[in-house]
Structure 1
Amino acid sequence: MSKQIAGWIMDRNLRAFLELLSRYIDYAFDDTDWDTIETGVRDTDDEKSDGWYSYPLAGTSATLEVGLARSVGSEVMSVSVTGAETAELQLRTDTLLSAFAGIRRGCSKAAPVPAPTSQSPDDACAWSGHPRVNSSAARRSAPT
């Protein structure tokens, strides 16, 4: 079994994340996929073991299982990806998670690392760090 790659992204970036991830496995992600996922994640909760939604992306070069759950009360979507067998696909998946975690609405640049603590959360380009899902314990809480 492949290693689980888990993290979080801003929920508004979910479709773009899935579209790019699908390209890496030669899967033609379309509006039907999006409609299904959008409905599936609606009542998810990343704090509940049975609160995750799972969706397969079956491309010609790999099949990925994507677990998704909202962080209730925030704009964060927890993400877990399994099935990335090659080192290249694992790196690409992890990079997408990092990139889409740092991009906020109206922001044309990724957030700085490490996150500055003095920025206002209202700043459109402020670090979008989510303390609970930023912790290593939260990354381990994603379903396997």
Structure 2
Amino acid sequence: MQQIEGWLKRGNLKGFLLMISELIEYGFDDSDWGAFQVGLESAVQVEDWFYYPLDGRVSICVEISCLDEEGDIDVKVFFPAEEPCLRQQIRAVWMVFNRLDVSPDVQLID
């Protein structure tokens, strides 16, 4: 597994997760988002990071820091080494979600 890590605007987390799920053809839905919300709240009391797998065409794992620093959070994305294009795709999504403010109610259009 390879890893990319950096910061992300907390308000853009849902949109970021939706888009990286699209990259791997995973159907991220409200139940996934609910798991993130509950997991982040629970993890604050237990540990500093919340871990969540996304299994689509390939499997990736997302770790999110529960510590919010002025609206920013630390994020790590783990992905298979045999998917070299995925690194650049995730970086591109990350760049967009760090430069734009996206509604927390963002949804994909089918």
Compute the TM-score of the two structures, normalised by the length of structure 1.
Answer: 0.62
* Higher fraction of helix: 2
Partner residue in 2 for 1:91: 88
Partner residue in 2 for 1:35: 34
CA RMSD across the alignment: 1.9
Partner residue in 2 for 1:103: 100
For the pair shown, the structure with the greater C-alpha radius of gyration is 1
* One of 55, 58, 66 as aligned partner of 1:58: 55
Higher relative contact order (CA 8 A, sep 6+): 2
How many percent of aligned residue pairs carry the same amino acid?
Answer: 27
Compute the TM-score of the two structures, normalised by the length of structure 2.
Answer: 0.80
Deviation string, structure 1 residues 82-141 (Cα, Å, up to 9, x no partner): 0243121111111212221222368xxxxxxxxxxxxxxxxxxxxxxxxxxxxxxxxxxx
Indicate if the aligned counterparts of 1:64 and 1:81 stay in contact, CA closer than 8 A. yes
Runs of 4+ residues deviating >4 angstroms: none
Partner residue in 2 for 1:74: 70
Indicate if the aligned counterparts of 2:48 and 2:67 stay in contact, CA closer than 8 A. no
